Amino acid sequence: MPDGRFAPSPSGPLHLGNLRTALLAWLFARSSGGRYLVRVEDLDDRARNLEFERSQLRDLDSLRLGPDEAPVRQSERLDLYRDAIAALVATGGTYECTCTRREIREAASAPHGDAPEGAYPGTCRRLTAAERARRAEEGRPAALRLRTEVERLAIVDRLHGRFEGAVDDVVLRRNDGLPAYNLAVVVDDADQGVDEVVRGDDLLSSSPRQAHLCDLLGLPRPTYAHVPLVLGPDGERMAKRHGSVTLDDQRRLGRTPDQVLGLLGASLGLCASGASVAPSDLLDAFAPDALPRKPWVVRAHVLSGEPGDP
């Protein structure tokens, strides 16, 4: 019975793409008899984003996609991340990195015969003692990176099959002292008992890095299901500029939460266009192997309140 989760960042209201992923996470969990959890990934600007967190949880409740247990917040789990980082440091498999973002971009774009394409090429792990001293004198804040000995790793995804991607010297602790995303989600999923990660396929390339961190920390690897993104009518990733993209926007157009769920369900081939449904109404038709593999390009009328197919 795989347990699943939806893990939004409270940086703004949920849009149709986020809500579709939440629905899919719920369907994956429910179809296998597992728990459905919600985690608030609020390591950045926690106080400023409290209003967004509340609105996101309210929207999930309106769509009957509220979690089986109280949501957890990353901002309240810092000790777990520190313990995991300390365990990795104790192995000698980490190093400090004082590269600026610009230096990382320039280094990643330069040819490196020993580094996977697009990966951090290990600039700071190769610094001489003199170069380290010079950077220390400059007062550069240091991030902490994993000293990985694996360049590539394969995972198996429910929708994409076998996927092999780069495993670089991923950041474990940012230069502001906060744990980095890849480390935090690995620790969270293991601690919460999440064994099936359902999320947007823009994060597929992160999975080999995270699976490698699981291995190093002695944590079980989850299974993965990276689902297609939702795009605006212009083919670009969905954003507020596309119009009525949030649940509140759709309400103002006259659609109820059940009608919004009908839009999402129809885009997945789980119900008829124009249906008004509850999440449970979609379970009988849900089959992971039959899910669309291409992005859902939302037609303009969906964002203007006009009738028609999604």
Q: Which of 256, 283, 253, 254 has the alpha carbon at shortest distance from 268?
A: 283
How many H-runs (helices) and E-runs (strands) does the chain carry? 9, 12
C-alpha–C-alpha distance, residues 246 and 250, integer Å: 6
Is-contact 28 283, C-beta < 8 A? no
Secondary structure (3-state) at 115: coil
Q: Name residues whose C-beta falls within 8 Å of residue 76's C-beta, 6 or more positions apart in sequence.
A: none
Rounded CA gap, 303 and 310, in Å?
A: 10
Q: Which residues of 53-91 are buried (b: 16+ CB within 10 A; e: fewer)?
A: bebbbebbebbebbbeeebbebeebeebbeebbeebeee
Q: CA 100, 106, 108, 110 torsion: positive or negative?
A: negative
Strands 4-6 and 36-40, bridge-based pairing: parallel
Report CA 79 to chain centroid distance, whole Å. Answer: 21
The structure tokens 């409270």 sit at: 10
- Selecting among 147, 152, 240, 252, the annotated active-site residue is 240
Q: Work out the angle between the directed axes of helices 16-31 and 257-267 (0-180°, nearest 10).
A: 80
Give a three-class secondary structure readout of 233-274: CCCCECCHHHCCCEHHHHHHCCCCHHHHHHHHHHHCCCCCCC
- The reply to whether 240 belongs to the active site is yes
- Just list the catalytic residues: 240
